[in-house]
C-alpha cells in the first residue's frame, strides 16, 4: 500500500487527474487511444473467454470500448464499466449512444477499490490498463474478489517495465534530456508500471484470495499519430509532458520539443508513428 494517512481519500490523486486534465486529454484523444490499445483489449477478451450469460465488470473503463466489446459477447448477460473520471464515463455513455448500444452495457463513475459489489454478483472482471493506479491494491483486489462468484475470473492487461515500452521511454527520455526526469515513483506506488513485476502481482492476487494466477506477454506497437507533427502534438499535450514542461523557460521547452521530434522521427512508418509496447495479460480465478 502506498503511504496514506487517515485524512486521505482513497485514490484522491487519481480522481483529481482523471476528473481534470488527464481525463480531458484522454477523452479528446479517445479514438487515438482505442486504436493504439486495440490489440491489448483483444488479448484481454481472448483470455477472458466471455460467455453469453456473463456478468462482466470492466475496471477503469475509460471511454468504454472494451466494455462494449465484452457486452456484445455477453449478450445474455451484462457489462458494467466503472471509472473514477466523470469525463470518461460521460464519453463512454455518449459513444454507446452513437453506436446504438449494446443495450446490456452501463457505465458508472466509481472507484473499484471502494465501491461495494454484492458477493457473487460478478462472473468476470476485466481491465485494459485500469488496475495499476490503486493507492491500496490489496484492498482493491480483495474488493473485486469478494464480488466474484465462486467460479469467477479476473483478466487484465498491465504494462511490463518501462525499459520494455518505447512508447513511453523514448518520448519521455527525449523531453527529460532538457527538462530533467520526473520524480521517481516507489515500487509500490500507483502508476502505469506499478504491476510490471509478475512476482509482486502473483503475491498480491494470491494474498487477496485469487488462485491459478497466470501471465502471458503481449507485444504490439502503440500508434501515436498519423504523422510526425500529429504525434509530437499529442505527446506535448499529455499530462506527463505538461508536468515536465511546468516551470521551464520557453527556450528549454523549445529545445525539448526539438529533441522529441528527433526521437520520434525514426519511428515514422507508412501508417504513422508507432513505438514498441509490451504488456502482461494476467489471468486468475476466484476459487
Tens of pLDDT, residue by residue over 160-214, are 999 999 999 999 999 999 999 877 777 778 999 999 999 999 999 999 999 999 9
Reported as a pLDDT band with limits 50, 70 and 90, residue 287 is: confident
Per-residue pLDDT averaged across 35-62, rounded? 98
Q: What is the tens place of the pLDDT at every residue in 15-30? A: 999 999 999 999 999 9
What pLDDT does residue 182 have? 78
- How high does pLDDT run on average in the chain? 95
What pLDDT does residue 181 have? 85
For the domain 12-161+183-221+277-285, what is the CATH code? Answer: 3.40.50.150
Half-sphere exposure of 231 (CA within 13 A, CB side): 28
What pLDDT does residue 8 have? 67
What pLDDT does residue 68 have? 98
- Give the whole-angstrom CA distance, residue 46 versus residue 130: 18
Task: Please tell me the pTM assigned to this model.
Answer: 0.94
What pLDDT does residue 189 have? 86
What pLDDT does residue 6 have? 47
What pLDDT does residue 93 have? 98
Per-residue pLDDT averaged across 219-227, rounded? 97
What pLDDT does residue 159 have? 98
Domain coordinates in residue numbering, the chain: 12-161+183-221+277-285
Amino acid at each position: 500500500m502506498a503511504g496514506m494517512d487517515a485524512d486521505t481519500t482513497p485514490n484522491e490523486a487519481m480522481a483529481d487527474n482523471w476528473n481534470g486534465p488527464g481525463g480531458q486529454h484522454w477523452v479528446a484523444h479517445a479514438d487515438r487511444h482505442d486504436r493504439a490499445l486495440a490489440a491489448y483489449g483483444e488479448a484481454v477478451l481472448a483470455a477472458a473467454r466471455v460467455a453469453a450469460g456473463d456478468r462482466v465488470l470492466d475496471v477503469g473503463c475509460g471511454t468504454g470500448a472494451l466494455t462494449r466489446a465484452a457486452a456484445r459477447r455477453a449478450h445474455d448477460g451484462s457489462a458494467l464499466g466503472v471509472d473514477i473520471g466523470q469525463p470518461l464515463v460521460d464519453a463512454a455513455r455518449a459513444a454507446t449512444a452513437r453506436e446504438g448500444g449494446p443495450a446490456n452495457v452501463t457505465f458508472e463513475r466509481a472507484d473499484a477499490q471502494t465501491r461495494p459489489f454484492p458477493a457473487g454478483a460478478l462472473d468476470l472482471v476485466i481491465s485494459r490498463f485500469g488496475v495499476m493506479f490503486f493507492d491500496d491494491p490489496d484492498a482493491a483486489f480483495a474488493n473485486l474478489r469478494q464480488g466474484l462468484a465462486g467460479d469467477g475470473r479476473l483478466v487484465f492487461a498491465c504494462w511490463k517495465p518501462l525499459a520494455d515500452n518505447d512508447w513511453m521511454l523514448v518520448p519521455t527520455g527525449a523531453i527529460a534530456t532538457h527538462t530533467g526526469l520526473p520524480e521517481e515513483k516507489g515500487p509500490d506506488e500507483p502508476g502505469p508500471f506499478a504491476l510490471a513485476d509478475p512476482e509482486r502481482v502473483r503475491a498480491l492476487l494470491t494474498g487477496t484470495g485469487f488462485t491459478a494466477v497466470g501471465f502471458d506477454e503481449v507485444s504490439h506497437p502503440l500508434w501515436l499519430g498519423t504523422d510526425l507533427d500529429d504525434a509530437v502534438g499529442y505527446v506535448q499535450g499529455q499530462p506527463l509532458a505538461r508536468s515536465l514542461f511546468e516551470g521551464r523557460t520557453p527556450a528549454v521547452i523549445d529545445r525539448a520539443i526539438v529533441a522529441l521530434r528527433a526521437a520520434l522521427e525514426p519511428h515514422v512508418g507508412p501508417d504513422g508513428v508507432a513505438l514498441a509496447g509490451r504488456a502482461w495479460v494476467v489471468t486468475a480465478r476466484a476459487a
